[in-house]
Structure 1
Amino acid sequence: MSLHDDAVSVVRSYAEGDGQQAELRLTYLDHLAVHPDGMWKACGAGHLTASALVIDPDRGRVLLTLHKKLRMWLQMGGHCEPQDATLADAALREATEESGITGLTLLPGGPVRLDRHPIPAPCHWHLDVQYAATASAGAVEQISDESLDLRWFPYDEVEKVADASVVRLLENTRARLDAGQYS
C-alpha cells in the first residue's frame, strides 16, 4: 500500500468530532482524489502533513516546540517523507525528530483531529492529520534544528501560549484519555 493509499484509508475511517471535522474530512478526501502528489511538499495546491501532540498524562502536561520559522508554540509535526509507510509513521517520525525523545508511542485509535491551515507560497495549504503520542517516564527532550525551544506545559497553560488549533488538539486528546480510549 502506498502512503497516498494509507492516507485515503485513514481519512476515510476518521469519524471524530463535529460538523467542521466532517467537512475537513471530505476536503482531504477530495484533495487526495484530485492530487496523486497530494502527500508531498511539491504539490503546489497543498499537501497532507502529519503531527503528534506529545503528552505526559500522568503529570498532566504536553511538550510543545517553539517553531523556528513560525515563532509559535506548536505540536511536533511536518512533511511526509518517502520512507514513511503510513501517516502514523510520519507523525511518529516527526515527533521523535523534533522532540529528541526516543520511544514515543502513538496513542491507539488513529488521528485525534484534522486541521487545515494556510502556508506561504509556493504551496498554499497544509492539511494536517493530527495524532497524540506519549513519552515514557523520565524521557528527556532535545531541541532540534527546527525549534527555538522545547517546553513542557501543564494542560491549563496551553491556551495561554498556543493558538486555537493546538488547544483543540489538546482538548480532543484529553477527551479520549478521559473516556479511557487509550488505556
Structure 2
Amino acid sequence: MVPGKSRYVRQDDRMPLDHLRTSLKQLPESGPRDAYLRFLDAAGDASLRKNGGPEHVTGSCFVFSPDFDQVLLCFHRKGQFWVQFGGHIEPQDASVSEAAQREAREESGIGSLVLLSPAIMDLDRHELHSGFSCTAHWDVGFAAAANPDTAISVSDESEDVRWFPVNGLPAQVPAGFGARLDKVRRTARSLSAMR
C-alpha cells in the first residue's frame, strides 16, 4: 500500500454515504446530528458531491500540537478568515474522514498527518457568501496532532498557515469558532489520553 493512500477501493458513491450515516448514528442524539441525517436522506448520494447541488457535505480537520495547547489554522482565501483545514469529498475518498485527512495534508503541507480517530468531533452547517459556487456546507470535523516544528506550507486555497495558542486565536475567525474548537480539543484530548 502506498503511504497516505486508502486501502479501500471505491465501488460507488454509496460506500462513503453509508459510512457517514453510520458514523453520525454513533453520535448522541442532538438537533445538529438529526438535521445531518435528514439532509443525507433527502439529498442521497448527491450530498457528497461538489456538483451534487448547492448544499453538500465537506470534511475538515482541526490540527493540534501534541499537548493540545496550539492549533494550526489556514487563512482561507475565499472566506477571508482563519479556520481549520477542509474541503470537498473527492471521488477517491472512501469516507468523509479520509477526505478530511487528505485535505489537511494538502492544505498544511504535512504529508504524514493522521487523524487521531475516525470519530466525528464537530458538525457545522454554514451558509456561504457569493465568493463560493455553493450556498452551504454541511461540514463534518475530525482532529489530528502534529509537532509545531514540522515543516508546513501554504496551498493555493489559503493565504497563510500558522500555529496559534488555543487561548489566543486571531480576530478573524468565523462566528462560534472558539466554542467549536474548545469542544473538539476536549474530545481529542480525552481520546489521546485513552491511548
Q: Which residue is equivalent to 1:13?
A: 26
Q: Which residue is equivalent to 2:104?
A: 95
Structure 2 vs 1, CA of residues 55 and 151 (structure 1 numbering), >3 Å: closer, same or farther? Answer: same
Q: Which residue is equivalent to 1:146?
A: 157
Q: Which residue is equivalent to 1:131?
A: 142
Cα shift at 1:75:
0.3
Structure 2 vs 1, CA of residues 120 and 137 (structure 1 numbering), >3 Å: closer, same or farther? Answer: closer
Residue type of the alignment partner of 1:70:
G
Q: Which residue is equivalent to 1:3?
A: 16
CA contact (8 A) 2:126 2:138 kept: yes
Q: TM-score, normalised by structure 1?
A: 0.88
**How many aligned residue pairs are there?**
177
**1:66 counterpart = 2:75:** yes
Q: Which residue is equivalent to 2:57?
A: 48
Q: Please point out which of 92, 111, 114 is paired with 1:105.
A: 114
Cα shift at 1:161:
3.9
Structure 2 vs 1, CA of residues 59 and 89 (structure 1 numbering), >3 Å: closer, same or farther? Answer: closer
CA contact (8 A) 1:43 1:123 kept: no
CA contact (8 A) 2:148 2:163 kept: no
Cα shift at 1:59:
6.5
Residue type of the alignment partner of 1:54:
V
Structure 2 vs 1, CA of residues 12 and 140 (structure 1 numbering), >3 Å: closer, same or farther? Answer: same
Q: Deviations over 1:38-59 (max 9, x none)?
A: 1111122411100001110327
CA distance in 2, matches of 1:25, 1:116: 11
Q: What runs of 5+ residues in structure 1 fail to find an aligned partner?
A: 17-21
The percentage of counterpart residues that share the same residue type is 37
Residue type of the alignment partner of 2:24:
V
Q: What runs of 5+ residues in structure 2 fail to find an aligned partner?
A: 1-13
Cα shift at 1:136:
4.1
Residue type of the alignment partner of 2:69:
G
CA distance in 1, matches of 2:35, 2:98: 22
Q: Which residue is equivalent to 1:117?
A: 126
Q: Please point out which of 15, 36, 41 is paired with 1:28.
A: 36
Structure 2 vs 1, CA of residues 137 and 67 (structure 1 numbering), >3 Å: closer, same or farther? Answer: closer
CA distance in 1, matches of 2:127, 2:68: 33
CA distance in 2, matches of 1:166, 1:132: 15
Residue type of the alignment partner of 1:27:
A
Q: TM-score, normalised by structure 2?
A: 0.83
Cα shift at 1:102:
1.6
Structure 2 vs 1, CA of residues 81 and 143 (structure 1 numbering), >3 Å: closer, same or farther? Answer: same
Q: Please point out which of 137, 156, 166 is paired with 1:155.
A: 166
